[in-house]
C-alpha cells in the first residue's frame, strides 16, 4: 500500500501520549473508534474516525477495527551482538559479561556471522513493534556496519555506534584509542544522517574505557554535531566500586563522564539503578536521559530502579529491553516488568497504562532528541505505528471482549500482549513488518 497521493486513513481503537502523563493528567489520549490519517509518511490527522473521514472524504479508509493502533515502540537500550545469549540465568553483571556476553561479542569479528545476526536482530525488533532503537553495535567496525546496512534495508529507525573499550574486557574486544577514533569517524561519515540512521558514540562503560578513550569520545562528539551518545551508568554495586577504584579523582560514577563532557540532550545512559541524589540532580540539569531496563535489572539481580526520584528531579526516563541481559525484544513485556518492579520497589511509583505507553514511545523519542519527529501521532510527525490485534481465542482477546474501558484495554495489552499480537508495523507509513497469519 502506498501512503503517497491521497494518503491513507486507518480506522481502529487508537492510543497515544502526546503529553507527558507524569506531568499532565491528560497525557493519554484514546479514541475507541479512532482514525489516523497520513500522507507521504507524515501524520495529517489523528482523532475520532467520523470527524476525520468527514473532513477528508477522498482518502480511502483501511478498516482495522478489532485491533489497536499505537505509536511504534522506541527501545532505548539494546545490544545487537547479544541476540544469541538471551536467556542466560544465574549470574550478576560482571560475571555474566565475562562468561556469557563477551565471548559471543568476540564472534562478531566473523563477517558472515555478524551479518546474519544483524538481520535476525532487526527482524526481531520489527516483529515486536519497535520502530526506533538505540542500539549498542559491536566492538568491530565491520559488524557495526552490517547492523546499519540491515537496518537500512528493513526501514527501521536506528541509532547505533561501534562499542569502544580499551581495557578489562577480552583482548580481542579492545581497540587503541587512535583506531577507535579512525573507525568511528569513518562510520559516522558513512551512516550518520543516512535515511533513518543516526550515529551514537558508544563507550561500553567507564570500567572498560581509559581516560584516553573517553577523550576520543569527547572529540568525536565535538567534531560531529548531532551525533548521539550512549553508555552504561550505575548498574551494579560491584561495577560501581570498580569504577571508583579506577578513577580515584571522580566524585562518583557520573562524574567520570562529566569530566569528558559526555552527556546532555541526546545522550542516553542505561540503568542508573544505584545513583546518589547529586547524580540524579546533575542528570536532570544536563538533560541526560536514563534508559530503564527492568527485565535486565531483575534478571541480573542489579536492583530496583528508583524511578520516583528520577521523575521528581525531572530526568527523562525511557525503557530499554537490554537484550541480551534482558529477557527479549518485547517492549510490552518491558512495560509490564517496569510496572511490577515499581510495585516492589521502596517508594515505587504506581504506574498506570498511560505512563507505560509514554515510557515505551514518546519518552524514548525525547531521550533521543527525536520528539519533534516521532513518539506520538501529532500532525506533522512520522507515521511510525504498531497495529496490535490479539489472536482469536487468546486470554488477551477474552479480556478485551469484556471491557470497553480504554485504561483496562491498554493494561491488558501490556499484561498479556506479545509478538503474537503484533499484526503490522509501519515506519513513515510504509510497512516494515506484517505478521504471517
Residues forming the site for Zn ion (CB under 5 A): 270, 322
Ramachandran assignment for 238, one of left (phi > 0), alpha (psi -120 to 50 degrees), beta (any other): alpha
Which CB sits closer to Zn ion, 322 or 334? Answer: 322
Tell me whether residue 81 or residue 417 sits nearer to Zn ion (CB atom).
81
Q: Whole-number minimum distance, CB 230 to Zn ion, in Å?
A: 9
For residue 111, what is the DSSP state?
H
Which of 81/354 has CB closer to Zn ion?
Answer: 81
Q: Tell me how far, at minimum, the Cβ of 323 lies from Zn ion, in Å.
A: 9
C-alpha cell at 359: 515510557
Cell numbers of 220, please?
A: 568525536
Q: Which three cell numbers stand for residue 310?
A: 528520577
Residue 147 or 416: the one with the smaller Cβ distance to Zn ion is 147
Nearest distance, CB of residue 325 and Zn ion, angstroms: 6
Q: How far apart are CA 129 and CA 384, in angstroms?
A: 10
Nearest alpha-carbon partner for 418 in 398, 394, 436: 394
Q: Residue 229: enclosing H or E segment and its boundaries? A: strand 228-233
Residues 6+ apart with CB under 8 A from 225: none
Quote the least distance from Cβ 196 to Zn ion, whole Å: 22
Q: Which is nearer to Zn ion, 43 or 270 (CB)?
A: 270
Among candidate residues 291, 259, 323, the one with its CA nearest the CA of residue 125: 323
Q: Give 7 or 320: the residue with its C-beta nearer to Zn ion.
A: 320
| Minimum gap (Å) between residue 76 Cβ and Zn ion | 11
Which lies closer to Zn ion via its Cβ, residue 49 or residue 257? 257
Q: Is 134 exposed, middle or buried (0-12, 13-18, 19+ CB in 10 A)?
A: buried
**What's the CA gap between 187 and 194, in Å, rounded?**
11
- Cβ 294 to Zn ion shortest distance, Å: 13
CB of 232 to Zn ion, least distance (A): 6
Distance of CA 143 to the CA centre of its chain: 20
Amino acid at each position: 500500500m502506498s501512503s503517497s497521493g491521497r494518503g491513507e486513513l486507518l480506522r481502529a481503537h487508537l492510543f497515544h501520549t502526546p503529553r507527558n502523563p507524569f506531568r499532565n493528567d491528560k497525557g493519554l489520549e484514546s479514541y475507541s473508534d479512532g482514525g489516523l490519517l497520513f500522507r507521504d509518511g507524515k501524520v495529517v490527522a489523528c482523532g475520532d474516525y467520523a470527524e476525520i473521514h468527514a473532513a477528508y472524504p477522498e482518502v480511502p479508509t483501511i478498516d482495522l477495527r478489532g485491533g489497536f493502533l499505537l505509536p511504534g515502540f522506541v527501545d532505548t537500550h539494546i545490544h545487537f551482538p547479544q541476540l544469541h545469549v538471551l536467556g542466560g540465568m544465574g549470574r550478576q553483571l560482571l560475571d555474566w559479561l565475562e562468561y556469557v556476553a563477551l565471548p559471543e561479542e568476540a564472534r562478531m569479528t566473523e563477517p558472515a556471522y555478524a551479518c546474519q545476526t544483524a538481520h535476525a536482530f532487526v527482524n526481531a525488533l520489527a516483529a515486536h513493534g519497535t520502530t526506533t532503537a538505540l542500539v549498542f553495535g559491536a566492538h568491530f567496525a565491520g559488524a557495526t556496519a552490517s547492523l546499519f546496512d540491515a537496518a537500512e534495508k528493513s526501514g527501521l529507525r536506528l541509532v547505533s555506534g561501534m562499542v569502544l573499550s580499551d581495557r578489562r574486557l577480552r583482548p580481542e574486544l579492545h581497540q587503541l584509542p587512535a583506531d577507535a577514533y579512525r573507525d568511528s569517524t569513518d562510520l559516522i561519515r558513512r551512516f550518520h544522517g543516512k535515511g533513518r540512521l543516526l550515529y551514537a558514540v558508544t563507550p561500553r562503560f567507564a570500567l572498560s574505557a581509559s581516560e584516553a578513550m573517553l577523550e576520543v569520545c569527547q572529540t568525536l562528539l565535538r567534531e560531529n554535531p548531532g551525533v548521539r551518545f550512549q553508555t552504561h551508568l550505575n548498574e551494579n554495586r560491584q561495577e560501581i566500586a570498580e569504577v571508583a577504584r579506577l578513577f580515584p579523582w571522580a566524585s562518583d560514577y557520573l562524574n567520570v563522564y562529566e569530566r569528558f563532557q559526555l552527556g546532555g540532550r541526546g545522550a542516553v545512559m542505561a540503568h542508573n539503578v544505584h545513583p546518589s541524589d547529586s547524580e540524579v540532580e546533575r542528570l536532570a540539569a544536563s538533560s541526560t536521559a536514563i534508559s530503564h531496563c527492568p527485565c535486565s535489572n531483575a534478571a541480573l539481580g542489579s536492583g530496583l530502579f528508583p524511578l520516583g526520584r528520577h521523575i521528581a528531579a525531572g530526568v527523562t526516563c525511557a525503557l530499554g529491553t537490554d537484550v541480551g541481559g534482558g529477557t527479549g525484544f518485547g517492549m510490552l513485556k518491558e512495560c509490564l516488568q517496569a510496572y511490577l518492579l515499581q510495585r516492589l520497589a521502596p517508594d515505587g511509583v504506581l504506574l498506570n497504562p498511560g505512563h507505560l505507553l509514554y515510557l515505551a514511545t514518546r519518552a524514548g523519542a525525547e531521550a533521543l532528541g527525536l520528539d519533534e519527529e516521532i513518539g506520538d501521532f501529532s500532525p506533522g510527525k512520522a507515521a511510525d505505528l504498531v497495529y496490535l490485534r490479539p489472536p482469536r481465542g487468546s486470554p488477551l482477546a477474552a479480556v478485551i471482549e469484556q471491557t470497553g474501558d480504554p485504561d483496562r484495554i491498554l493494561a491488558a495489552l501490556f499484561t498479556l500482549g506479545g509478538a503474537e499480537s503484533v499484526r503490522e508495523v509501519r515506519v513513515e507509513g510504509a510497512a516494515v513488518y506484517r505478521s504471517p497469519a
